[in-house]
Every structure is written in C-alpha cells, then in structure tokens.
Structure 1
C-alpha cells in the first residue's frame, strides 16, 4: 500500500445523490425545502421553550438542546451540498472536509447522548415523581448536557486528527453528499487498523451506552405505568413518553437502516440514500413529533405565533 503513488490532497469530490444533470434541480429543490423546514421547525421549538415560563423544566431544556443539535447537524451537511449543486462543482477543500467530518460526529454524538438524558428524565418523572425536582435539578441538567457536549467534541477531534494522518492515492471521489468517515476510510491507502478500533470504541460509547440507558429507562417506565391503578393515569404516563419514544425509534431505526444497507450492499448510491434518512430526515421530523403530540408545546407555539402576529 505504501509503495503506491501518494500526493498531497488539497480537495475531495463529493458525488452526491446523483450524477444525472437532469435530476440535480429536483434534488436541489427537495433538499432546500427540507433544510428550510428543519431550521424553521427547530427554531420555533427553541423560541417557544425560551419564551414560555411553563416550559422551563428539565424535559423542555433537553428538547431545547436537541433542537439546537438538529440545526447544527443539518447545517453541517445540507448547505454545502446545495452550494455544490448550484455551482455545478463537486469539490470540497481538504480542511473543509475535515471540518465537516468533525461537525457531523460532534452533533450526531451529542444527539444520541441527549436522547438518553431525555429518557432518564422521563424515568425519574414517572418512577420517582416525589424526588423529581431534587434529582433533575437545573445543575444536573446543565451538567449532563455539558458533559455530553464535551465527550462528543472529544470524539470528533480524535477522529479528525486520525484522518489528518491518512494518506490518499489517486482516488479522491467520495460517494456521499458529505464527508462521511466510513467513505473517507475506504479511499485511503493508509493502514486503518487503529482508526477502525477507535470507531468500534466510539460506536459502543455513542450507540451502545445510550441504547442501554434508554432500554433501562423504558423498561422501568413501562413497568411503573402498568402498575398504576387508574387507566387515566396510565394513558397520561404513556402519552408523556410518546414523543420521545417516537424520536428515538426514528433516529435509531434509520441508523440501523444505514448500517444494514452498508453491510449488505456494495452500491454507494443506496448507502447515500440511507445516510439521508439518518442525517437529514429525523432532524426535520423531530419538531413535528414533539409539537403535534404535546399539548403544552402546542399551546406555547400558539402563544408565540399570536404574539408574533400582533407585532406585525
């Protein structure tokens, strides 16, 4: 491998979803619409939580953080893709690729951690309601979020620094719409053993640990709800967790789809489409899931829109 011709890489080519010029306007319009809906939906959640004092609780603090994370993850990938399509230029600079790679890893890792923290919040609220205010204090919520952010940043920096050590031969075409770590490792001519080990470790941390935490929380939540004597309280308990469970199912379901598609197919195009379902679609749908299934959120959004309309 080391005997092959190696040249300093100044840029990569992002092949995107399709190389058919006739389909590029359709892809551009579709992703522009999805991105605008994602930004608008998550901004509404952020403004609603910030402006309504009734939503200044741990549950909505984590939702506020999740919306910021969704905006960050979508902004890390979609705008560059739109610029490339509009300019009919597939290039991305080497520093730009590393920056994008790091951003995607940071925000995706933070998202899984926040969903785990939200599951723990629901567990405490339902299983230990009398101690909820003590356990889920403002200090605890902020500490959980900052710790998740710090670990995610560390993970992104470690992978980025390892990528900086890689050598590339003649192939600089990435069959993705963003600089995905797995695709970068496929086109390198360096030994990736250490990087693969780090990937397995980080996957266990950012996928395995949150999943176990979420499963632990929901096993106890369901057990506690089923022991409730009143059917009304039982329904309220399930409805309290409904939005979060829907978001978790959407994120991990699409993530599992990406993993399966990568494992069973050699088609870069199918893998790219699967990645869209993981990096773009959940971030767009999360605000709708929380706003449509949550009465307090719908009321806060109604007040926010009424205040905005009165100002206009």
Structure 2
C-alpha cells in the first residue's frame, strides 16, 4: 500500500522587520540600543529594590518581579531578532520556535498577573489605610496616589497594544502593522516600564541617589 507523501516541518523562515538591505544596519543599531537599555533598566530596578532597605514594601516587591518578567520576555525575543539582522539565513528550528513561544507566553502571562496584583496593592493602600502604616498620614496617602499614575500608564500602554494587536478588525489587518505592534510589546514596553516607574517615583530616585553617593565614598 502506497504511503502518502509527508513533509516534516523542521524550521520556520523569519520574515524580519524590513526586506531592504540598506536599512539593516540602522535597524540593527536601533534595536540593539533598545535591548541594552531594557536590560540595564530592568536589572537596575531588580538590584535597587533588592538592596535598598527603604524599598522593602509590597509595591516594590511586585515591581522587582515585574522587572524580572520584562527582562525575561524581552530576552526571549530580542537576541534572536538581533542575530537575524546580521545572519545570512533567517530561520529558526521548529523546537527552538516552540521553546521561544512557550517562554514568551509564560513571561507575558506572569506580567499580566503581576500588574493585577500591583493594582490590588494600590487599591488596598488607598482604600484601607489601617492595613498599610505607610498611608496613615496625608503624605503617605498622596504617595500611594502618585504611584497609581505610573501603574496606570504601564497598564494602559500594555493592554492598549495587545488590544490593538489582537482585536483589530480584519478589514484593517496588516502584516506590517502586526510587526510594529509585536516589536512594541516585546521590546519597547520592557524598556519603558523601568523608566516610567523610576522617573515618576521619588523613592526610586532617592535610592539611586543614595547608591551613587555610596559608590563615590568607596576607596579608589
């Protein structure tokens, strides 16, 4: 009995961001810069919230784990994307693609849960001051409200991008638009998150200032 022809899928061809060779170097430099800033920013946030005694609160516990997930899913995608810009053959093995997808889904789902937990923490800090000594005063309550601005910014940027990516009507669906949106939530958002939480947060800026002063006091 004749066996039907079967094609075994061993690898995928990656289309890339652009098919114009003259733009490859510029795009590589841009995304390399974005990835490096993302790694430095998230690693910095992880270390800062771990070593500074004034940042040992529930909010910064969640913020540290948010930085871990941002670092995780940007690293899942970023290095392979950078290699594709300089490689002659833009392919990825089937097993490698499945592994990359599994880790990406793990990190992105973890991020959604962490953002939800952070939102609940802010709700508790504002609406139930008896449970959080830090908001017993008017100053503490103002601090809790101020951190909500950063959190809402992060949530709106992430969910708006995902909504645009997966809920847009078929009539306006475009492969190029999908590529831009996917780059935004895989590389741009992990770069923006530590900036948003640090630039809008006096405690984080104060911790950075203290560490900088301590480094200058070290003997040369």
Q: 2:9 aligned with 1:14, yes or no?
A: no
Q: Provide the C-alpha distance between the structure 2 equivalents of 1:262 and 1:80, rounded to a whole number of angstroms.
A: 30
Q: 2:195 aligned with 1:288, yes or no?
A: yes
* Structure 1 stretches of at least 4 aligned residues deviating more than 4 Å after TM superposition: 230-237, 309-312
1:82 equivalent in structure 2: 82
**Which range is displaced more, 34-43 or 295-304?**
295-304
Task: Give the C-alpha shift of residue 236 in structure 1.
Answer: 4.2
What RMSD in Å do the two structures reach over aligned CA positions? 2.2
1:259 equivalent in structure 2: 166
Q: 2:5 aligned with 1:98, yes or no?
A: no
1:66 equivalent in structure 2: 66
What TM-score do you get using the length of structure 2 for normalisation?
A: 0.89
Gaps of at least 5 residues in structure 2 are none
Structure 2 SS opposite 1:23? helix
1:114 equivalent in structure 2: 114
Q: 1:5 to 1:280 in 2, by over 3 A?
A: farther
Instruction: Map 1:1-312 onto structure 2 (within 5 A).
Output: 6-132=6-132, 235-261=142-168, 263-311=170-218
Partner deviation per Cα, 1:257-295 (whole Å, 9 max, x = no partner): 212447443421211111112222111000111001111
Q: 1:297 to 1:130 in 2, by over 3 A?
A: same
Q: 1:308 to 1:254 in 2, by over 3 A?
A: farther
CA contact (8 A) 1:261 1:271 kept: no
Structure 1 SS opposite 2:7? coil
Q: Provide the C-alpha distance between the structure 1 equivalents of 2:141 and 2:128, rounded to a whole number of angstroms.
A: 15
Q: Provide the C-alpha distance between the structure 1 equivalents of 2:32 and 2:124, rounded to a whole number of angstroms.
A: 39
Structure 2 SS opposite 1:92? strand
1:162 equivalent in structure 2: none
Q: Provide the C-alpha distance between the structure 2 equivalents of 1:231 and 1:131, rounded to a whole number of angstroms.
A: 15
Q: 1:301 to 1:264 in 2, by over 3 A?
A: farther
Q: Provide the C-alpha distance between the structure 2 equivalents of 1:310 and 1:86, rounded to a whole number of angstroms.
A: 43
1:154 equivalent in structure 2: none
CA contact (8 A) 2:126 2:145 kept: no
Partner deviation per Cα, 1:189-213 (whole Å, 9 max, x = no partner): xxxxxxxxxxxxxxxxxxxxxxxxx
What TM-score do you get using the length of structure 1 for normalisation?
A: 0.64
1:214 equivalent in structure 2: none
Aligned length: 213
Q: Provide the C-alpha distance between the structure 1 equivalents of 2:12 and 2:183, rounded to a whole number of angstroms.
A: 20
CA contact (8 A) 1:262 1:271 kept: no
Task: Give the C-alpha shift of residue 44 in structure 1.
Answer: 1.1
Q: 1:6 to 1:301 in 2, by over 3 A?
A: farther
CA contact (8 A) 2:16 2:84 kept: no
Q: Provide the C-alpha distance between the structure 2 equivalents of 1:74 and 1:262, rounded to a whole number of angstroms.
A: 27
CA contact (8 A) 1:261 1:274 kept: no
Partner deviation per Cα, 1:237-266 (whole Å, 9 max, x = no partner): 431311111111111111122124474434
Q: Provide the C-alpha distance between the structure 2 equivalents of 1:88 and 1:262, rounded to a whole number of angstroms.
A: 35
